Copies of this chain bind each other. A is one copy, B any other.
Amino acid sequence: MHEFEMIRDYFRPLTMGRKEAGGLLDDAAILDVPDGYDLVMSSDTLCGGVHFLDDESADNIAHKCLRVNLSDMAAMGAVPYCYQLNLAFSRKPDAAWAKIFTEALMEDNRAFEVFCSGGDTTVIEGPMLVSLTITGLVPKGKAVKRSGAKAGDLVVVTGNIGNAVIGLKVLLGILDVDDPAEFTTACHCPMPRTAIAEAVHTYANAAVDISDGMIADLSHICGASGLGAQVHGDKIPFSDGAKRLMEQGVISVEDLITGGDDYELALAVAPEDFEAFKAQAAERGVCVCAIGTFVSFDFEGDAVQVLDASGEPMAFESDGWTHF
């Protein structure tokens, strides 16, 4: 299959989302940014053998690449708009691969109301690379930064933490669980929290998406805001499946909160705004939990402390993020 045919038959339909932006017909796509909005823009490159398995299925690659980028939009409180898709193939893709890949993207185009505004394809002697640049819209001045947290703000997270790292361990064959689908799906096909973009830019003082692990990403907010954070270990939301695995002793709290790839949000929300934020998120089907407080960073050690039931900082054994 010739590259041009592949683009025409499979990739071009991805550009037909809200309206034809012309990205595949002209030298550039034309984007109508409505008056009163800022455009936010971010890129993530995913690489075969690093960010997904070398023999990963085309639909899993498609979902993951788009969704990790959508998650960055959610963290800014932005409604996603469109994306440029730059593909480097390890070998010339066949029509069957292109069909599955683009059908998965089309599903997500519909689910998240985005479209592909352009991009390019090349074939290299190397691993597959997907470099995706995403844009989103947020009312002018309302984009949520990492630097806006205030002492006294609640530490808030969406969803459950750690399912993706369990999924990764299952996929790598280093953990065997009875019912792996919940975990492997979290790993392959994360759920970016774009549904609550409006609630985020209305109520959050700071936000980050959890890609490096909850503790690491919270420490990004702390660093940018000049604060520490105290998190109550027993308030961190874990799925029932994850709790069972902890009870069985095959996975630890530390694994779950340092594992990464959750693509949930960690946010700073003023206590007086929390109930309104929670209610608006619930309306969009997203659970949020307050798990701690941002505080002055006037204590020893790392900026993010996880406290046990008696209020003592937990000591983690591994060379993780909260070792004392």
Q: Which residues of A contact B (CB under 8 A)?
A: 22-23, 25-33, 35-45, 47, 50, 71-73, 75-76, 78, 84, 86, 88, 117-120, 122, 124-127, 129, 131, 133-136, 138, 140, 143, 145-147, 207-209, 224
Contact of A224 among B25, B138, B208 (CB under 8 A): B25
Known A33-B39, A133-B84; contact A26-B124, beta-carbon cutoff 8 A: no
Closest B residue by C-beta to A29: B41
Indicate if the CB atoms of B143 and A30 lie closer than 8 Å: yes
Cβ of A208: which chain B residues have Cβ within 8 Å of it? 27
- Extra contacts, 7 of them, besides A27-B207, A32-B38, A43-B133 (Cβ < 8 A), are A25-B146, A26-B76, A27-B208, A29-B42, A30-B143, A45-B88, A88-B126
Known A86-B131, A146-B25; contact A33-B30, beta-carbon cutoff 8 A: no
Measured CA separation A31–B40 after assembly (Å): 6
Contact of A124 among B122, B129, B138 (CB under 8 A): B129
Contact of A118 among B33, B42, B71, B145 (CB under 8 A): B42
Indicate if the CB atoms of A118 and B43 lie closer than 8 Å: yes
Cβ of A38: which chain B residues have Cβ within 8 Å of it? 30-33
A-B contact pairs, 15 of them (CB 8 A): A23-B41, A27-B72, A27-B73, A27-B207, A31-B40, A33-B37, A35-B36, A41-B84, A41-B118, A41-B135, A43-B86, A84-B133, A88-B131, A125-B127, A131-B131
Closest B residue by C-beta to A88: B129
Cβ of A236 to closest chain B Cβ, rounded Å? 21
Cβ of A22: which chain B residues have Cβ within 8 Å of it? 145
Measured CA separation A193–B158 after assembly (Å): 47
Known A47-B88, A86-B86, A125-B126; contact A42-B30, beta-carbon cutoff 8 A: no
Cβ of A26: which chain B residues have Cβ within 8 Å of it? 75-76, 143, 145-147, 224
Most buried by B among A23, A32, A50, A86: A86
Indicate if the CB atoms of A45 and B120 lie closer than 8 Å: yes
Cβ of A32: which chain B residues have Cβ within 8 Å of it? 38, 140
Contact of A23 among B42, B73, B120, B129 (CB under 8 A): B42
Most buried by B among A78, A119, A209: A119
Indicate if the CB atoms of B45 and A28 lie closer than 8 Å: no
Indicate if the CB atoms of A76 and B136 lie closer than 8 Å: no
Closest B residue by C-beta to A74: B27
Cβ of A31: which chain B residues have Cβ within 8 Å of it? 38-41
Closest B residue by C-beta to A129: B88
Measured CA separation A163–B145 after assembly (Å): 47
Measured CA separation A145–B84 after assembly (Å): 19
